[in-house]
Amino acid sequence: MKFATWNVNSLGVRLPQVLDWLAANPVDALVLQETKLTDDKFPQADFAAVGYAAQWHGQKTYNGVALLSRAPALEVVRNIPGFDDEQARVIAGTVDGVRCIGGYFPNGQAPDSDKFVYKMRWLDALHDWVQAEMAAHPQLVLMGDFNVAPEDRDVYDPVAWAGQIHCTPEERAQFQRLIGLGLTDAFRLFEQPPKSWSWWDYRNLAFRKNQGLRIDHILVSPALTPRVAACSIDKLPRKNERPSDHAPVVVELTAG
């Protein structure tokens, strides 16, 4: 069983690439972030035509998430229950008995900004809700664009980025609070190539110079951790013409 996450930075622009990627990587579920589509514009039929059911939660211009799956998702939840949020950032559903939570975590902009305060509040709410979800669904994956580089080895220039957005102690502590729930960073279960990133800025020829951050993650619950057979970042779509600035992350689970 395979699950994946990909920040597509506008599904309107990237739909052909997502369809191509699914054809080459027929995962059981794929969560998307930054669809940037209102719900009426979601291309459900295009996914249905290639054998994927879809659930989505979007808004105009910003944010927007979706859950694509071979088997229709059950018990679908949009955004964090009890957390009043105008921004469409979470989609969750149960696929083949596995609770899949897809999140587009707030960027935070800068550590001294109002957006950072919102990011922390959002992360607090996510933590408490994920805790409850894990109790209800022992088989759980939390995946998405976390907008957090958990450690210095997830940053191409940790000195330059020290204390900057994605790398602040506060954000890293929030990531560790999620780990503290018993979740495991699937990517780090395996030896990985050094300088493995999931995002490269569009500016500064960052991809060509491999100057990136690992901010897209797949965390798995204790019941699933022994079943993780592989986890990797697929850089190929970042080499497309008109790529997203993020690459997909894929996890493979052995049969339960």
Location of structure tokens 């105009």: 60
Residues forming the site for DNA (CB under 7 A) = 9-10, 12-13, 36, 60-62, 106-107, 109, 115, 202-205, 242
Closest contact distance (angstroms) between CB of 81 and DNA is 22
CA 112 to centroid of chain Cα atoms: 25
> Closest separation between CB of residue 53 and DNA, Å?
23
Distance of closest approach, residue 115 Cβ to DNA, in angstroms: 5
In terms of CB distance, is 78 or 238 closer to DNA?
238
- Set 20, 39, 85, 104: catalytic member: 104
Q: Which of 100, 201, 96, 174 is nearest to 144 (CA)?
A: 100
Here the tokens at position 246 are 């993020």
**145 an active-site residue?**
yes
Which is closer to DNA, CB of 62 or CB of 83? 62
What amino acid occupies position 253? L
Shortest Cβ 60–DNA spacing (Å): 5
Tell me whether residue 201 is one of the annotated catalytic residues: no
Q: Which residues of 187-204 are buried (b: 16+ CB within 10 A; e: fewer)?
A: beeeeeeeebbbbbeeee
Q: Which lies closer to DNA via its Cβ, residue 107 or residue 131?
A: 107
Q: Which residue has the tokens 């992350």?
A: 249
Q: In angstroms, what is the C-alpha Rg of the chain? A: 17
> Residue 113 or residue 254: which is nearer to DNA going by CB?
113
State the sign of the Cα–Cα–Cα–Cα dihedral 229, 28, 122, 224.
negative
Both tokens assigned to 236: 């190929």
List of residues 6+ apart from 134 with CB closer than 8 A: 140, 181, 182, 183, 221
Task: With beta carbons less than 8 A apart as the criterion, state whether 139 and 99 touch.
Answer: yes
CB of 65 to DNA, least distance (A): 13
Tokens 């995002």 appear where? 199
- Which residues are tagged catalytic? 104, 145
